[in-house]
Structure 1
């Protein structure tokens, strides 16, 4: 527990004074002084507990002693990726190949024509049913 005990005492004195000021108008002097002593003890104990908890939580991690090379393995992360010259060359070739080729003319899509259902042919209906059932 590092630090000074003065903080604990001053916090206790603050609690005792606060209790004394609020209690003096409603109680006799003996009762007020007794409650102030209890408040001093309670506030000092509270400050001591808070200091202990903060001292444990905020304690820096101990630095390890000299470690061997095998213990250091896996402790660091290398965020640099190697240069892939082969991949870069492949991308350049694809880029250059696309410029040399002439753009092909427009070829419209030729979808199958829709059949009206006003006069369905049995052969077309059979083909449609087969396509739907994946036969």
Structure 2
């Protein structure tokens, strides 16, 4: 039986950015921007070291929705606005809320905060098909 979704349905998804995640993501994505792999460059940019690639944070947001709907193949469209970078050792909590369900599609708004309560992602919208 297919799962049904309603406007107002919510979910939470948590990811930990371990110390090596920016390096692993650089290898997987080819994004070797020095701010992601060289702590000195990160410090020169005003951080305490490297920062996680934004596309990895976006990937985690999409993963949160995919887990919620039960199939990553249902994701159709993504819009995102980054608020601040994710740092190694950050714990990122994604909160999702269904905002629309119509015509075989669903829109979900996703926000994310780090363990300090600082927003790292705002106004993200992930659109999915419903089977």
TM-score (norm 2): 0.25
* Higher RCO, 1 vs 2 (CA within 8 Å, ≥6 residues apart): 2
Larger Rg: 1
